[in-house]
Amino acid sequence: MTSSTRPQLILFDYDFSPFAQKIHLLLACCALPFSRCEQPPLLPRPTLERLGITYRRIPVLAMGKDVYCDTTAIIEGVLGRLASGFPRTRAEKAYESFGRLLFNSSLGLVGKAPDEAIMKDRATIFPQLCRPDIHTLRPSALAELRANFTIVEKDFLSAGAWVGGVTMSLDDVHVGFVVRWILKRMQIEKVPGFGKDEFPKIYHWVEQLPKSTPTEISQEDAVKNILSSSYAVGLPKWDDNDHLGIEEGAVVTVESSDATPGAHPQAGKLVGVSMKEVVLELDNSVRLHFPRQGYIVRKA
């Protein structure tokens, strides 16, 4: 695929987002150029609202006029359309789950209650941050992290420089983003017991992970480019046997199953239903892609 036929990629993110870093790593591994449109870490996010997007989580990736919500959908969209040759393995879903486990356990590393604005903003999606005993969790979180890092060091990296062997694959993305984020962004590399002497393979691996080099795009240009773009992918074949039982073209809402019910619904016309994704079309004709796992779809 040439640069002239490749749809423009615009990633909406903010610096400290670990899952945004996952997509940065994916795009770097696949050597795909992209633009970055920085978003506020706290709501509201006016640029996404201008596009009709009320989905709450970051990152969001626009591929032309198709917008992918959730890292699972983003990964499938990128690899399916732009980087089908990037290595994948039969164990990738297990590594994906391990990466999420690492992130969830890292919330206990915070060590103190966030300020009121952050707590209010994150309460609907990360309730652990609002625990009254959060200031007591760090020792247990460090102990759990050390045990999990030992799994990465002695099991995942036992066969070579990359997870599972000698070739970089999606498995490295699923685990590498959060290990790098914990070490660097959360500065766990400075904590006794988490240095290069204890985890030499992890440090060598993290140093080999490629770094992204996005171009910055303004809020105005991001909106303009998306609305004037063509669709990057076709709609999936409609699954007539899907258990949603909702007819094509119905107005629906989609929301995360692990968030507070009704907190951040995304409304749109249901135009695609398959085993892998649900696709909504907004009034401005932008299409939103959601994975099947972790989301609730209802008639509006």
> What pLDDT is stored for residue 3 in this prediction?
59
pLDDT band of 86, cuts 50, 70, 90: very high
Query: Across the chain, what does the average pLDDT equal?
Result: 94
Return the DSSP state at 137: -
Alpha-carbon Rg for the chain in angstroms: 20
The single-letter code of the amino acid at 61 is L
CA gap 209, 171 in Å, rounded:
12
pLDDT band of 1, cuts 50, 70, 90: low
Return the DSSP state at 64: B
Q: Of 106, 100, 95, 94, which Cα lies nearest the Cα of 194? A: 106
pLDDT band of 126, cuts 50, 70, 90: confident
Residue whose structure tokens are 């135009």: 271
**pLDDT (tens digit, 9 = 90+) per residue, 31-43?**
999 999 999 999 9
Segment 187-209 shows an average pLDDT of: 98
Q: List, in order of start, the domains of the chain with CATH numbers.
A: 9-85+216-299 (3.40.30.110), 92-208 (1.20.1050)
Segment 63-78 shows an average pLDDT of: 98
> What pLDDT is stored for residue 131 in this prediction?
83
CA gap 88, 171 in Å, rounded:
7
Asked whether the predicted pLDDT for residue 127 surpasses 90, the reply is no
Burial, 115: exposed, middle or buried (Cβ in 10 Å; 0-12, 13-18, 19+)? exposed
